[in-house]
Structure 1
Amino acid sequence: MWFAGVYVYLRPTTLEEALEALYQSRGELLAGGTDFYPSLGERLPAKPIVDITRVRELKGITRKPDLFRIGGGATWTELIKAPLPRCFDALKAAAREIGSVQIQNRGTVAGNLCNASPAADSVPALLALDAAVELASRSTVRRVALQDFILGNRKTARQADEILTAILVPRAVDDALSTFLKLGARRYLVISIAIVAVVLDIESGKIRDARVAVGSCSVRAQRLTDLEQRLRGASLSDIAELAAEQHLKPLSPIDDVRASASYRFDSALTLVRRALAQCAAKC
């Protein structure tokens, strides 16, 4: 926060001001702050801070003819309360698992993505919605598919002069069923061992489209495309049994203090089957 001998804390109110401030200061963005400040530990910020909490263009969740736009400043509480179609049920369930209510009131959806934790609860649900992100700089605005935005553990495609201005969800499966499941060492306030999100679009008793995503079992969440292909056209009876070990090949779980790689793999398969069964039961 000290810059050229001067304490610098910038709080713009428009996107244009924010982008200019970020470019000129070469600073760090601050939105909800729920990841930013804990990551510092006992250190002070080394760069100028650009606080974007008052930027009007980043507010709100809007419905457009072809997509839903989740503003870069939208909080988890705002998403939970928003009148969204049932394909968002998995994302709302994930939102309720992100920290405490106080964290949900402050933390932003965009911040969770930019933090790029392998165990981020929101990412599988957004992947299953085919979400993309909108990135703006002083000179350009670009759209990047979420699966291409998160590059690895704490790594994203966002450039230093860019702000994630929105998450974009195409309106392809508004009425689809969706489910989110999470395994942790306890019920609440826990880092995930495995996360699963499923979206199923049902037509005449058969699966017209299927999206299955798994998190906390690789350096970034993965879509299980082979399983999705297997599910398309299938009937809902015994749907859970269609998921098999070979469908989890994209995953690369690790051993750590929370679980072994083999336990993560087995848990992911179990959660996938449960999520599919729960989706089918909603029909």
Structure 2
Amino acid sequence: MTRYARPTTLDEALALLGEGAWRVVAGATDFYPALGSSPIRQDMLDINSIAELRGIAGTEAHLVIGARTTWTEVRRAPLPPAFDALKQAAREVGSVQIQNVASVAGNLCNASPAADGVPALMVLDAEVELRSSLATRHLALPDFILGNRRTALRPGEMVTAVRVPKAATGGRSAFLKLGARRYLVISIAMVAARVTLDRDGRIEAAAVAVGACSAAAQRLRVLEAELQGKRPDDIEDVVARAPLDELSPIDDVRGSAHYRRSAAREIVARALLAAAADPQRRAAA
């Protein structure tokens, strides 16, 4: 017989995790549809009543997003412009009803190659806080998501927060997603970009991440280095020449590998241009 527990404190949840193989659920917007008509065969640990896992707070060095924070809460939070991509991605996570219950940590733990929140968090250099009853550790997002539906979670651990270094909250960001229709769509390709300009209007730093074009979202480190010192008017030329070797798209029902690579190049350029645009011009657009 399967068990169901709904602890009200994090300590209680971690103690339960240390006793057996529980499936941690929050919004469960991926878990229940994946079951189909099959019965639940795992012990369920529901973290929805743990208040300390919800909300966004600041520390001296980080902005901390609690694991149970929903995408609607992210979208409504007063965050710096560097988080614009994350807010735009939040609008793309399923329907409004799903955004109201789906959690940030759940999007990461599901580890889909097309998880909307991952590229936007990657350009913020986000790291995942993992806790068990014995220890706490922090992993950079690329070290946590290991591949399609694979993470670095250990037995007895759960994600308790996503931490964004304040050093990575400069500049502005943008998120673009390409799909077969406008709403409720799994991505063919998606891009998040964050750009910081210097006083002369040149690119001081750029961060670019592409999702749905590899087993896990990828930062385009070579392109980021090429963009340093360039002007926003140079972005399209730099992207056109970039090899994008970090990407390894596949052929599937949503698009061919060739199409995905071509589409990714185009929306990388568009996302970078949007992130580098003058704020007043962006507001007018």
Q: TM-score range by the shorter chain?
A: over 0.9
Please name the residue that 1:120 is paired with: 115
Gaps of 5+ in 1: none
Q: Counterpart of 1:96 in structure 2: which amino acid?
A: R
Please name the residue that 2:57 is paired with: 62
1:164 matched to 2:126: no
Aligned-residue identity in percent: 54
Gaps of 5+ in 2: 280-285
CA contact (8 A) 2:197 2:276 kept: no
Q: How does 1:83-102 map to 2 (within 5 A)?
A: 83-102=78-97
CA distances 1:198-249 after superposition (whole Å, capped 9, x unpaired): 0001111111111000000000000000000001111222322211354311
1:225 matched to 2:221: yes
TM-score when scaled to structure 2? 0.95
Please name the residue that 1:130 is paired with: 125
CA distances 1:138-177 after superposition (whole Å, capped 9, x unpaired): 1000000001000000000011311100000011143411
CA contact (8 A) 2:20 2:156 kept: no
TM-aligned CA deviation for residue 85 of structure 1 = 0.3
Q: How does 1:1-283 map to 2 (within 5 A)?
A: 2-3=1-2, 8-204=3-199, 205-244=201-240, 246-283=242-279
Q: Which aligned runs of 4 or more in structure 1 are off by greater than 4 angstroms?
A: none
CA contact (8 A) 1:239 1:280 kept: no
Aligned residues: 278
CA contact (8 A) 1:224 1:247 kept: no
Aligned with 2:176: secondary structure? strand
TM-aligned CA deviation for residue 258 of structure 1 = 0.5
CA contact (8 A) 2:56 2:65 kept: yes
TM-aligned CA deviation for residue 183 of structure 1 = 0.1
TM-score when scaled to structure 1? 0.96
CA distances 1:44-82 after superposition (whole Å, capped 9, x unpaired): 111211111111221111022211000011000111111
TM-aligned CA deviation for residue 42 of structure 1 = 1.1
TM-aligned CA deviation for residue 21 of structure 1 = 1.3
Task: Work out the CA distance in 1 between the residues paired with 2:78 and 2:269.
Answer: 28
TM-aligned CA deviation for residue 278 of structure 1 = 1.6
Q: Comparing 229-238 with 66-75, which one deviates more in the overlay? A: 229-238
Aligned with 1:242: secondary structure? helix
Task: Work out the CA distance in 2 between the residues paired with 1:184 and 1:105.
Answer: 22
Task: Work out the CA distance in 2 between the residues paired with 1:245 and 1:193.
Answer: 22
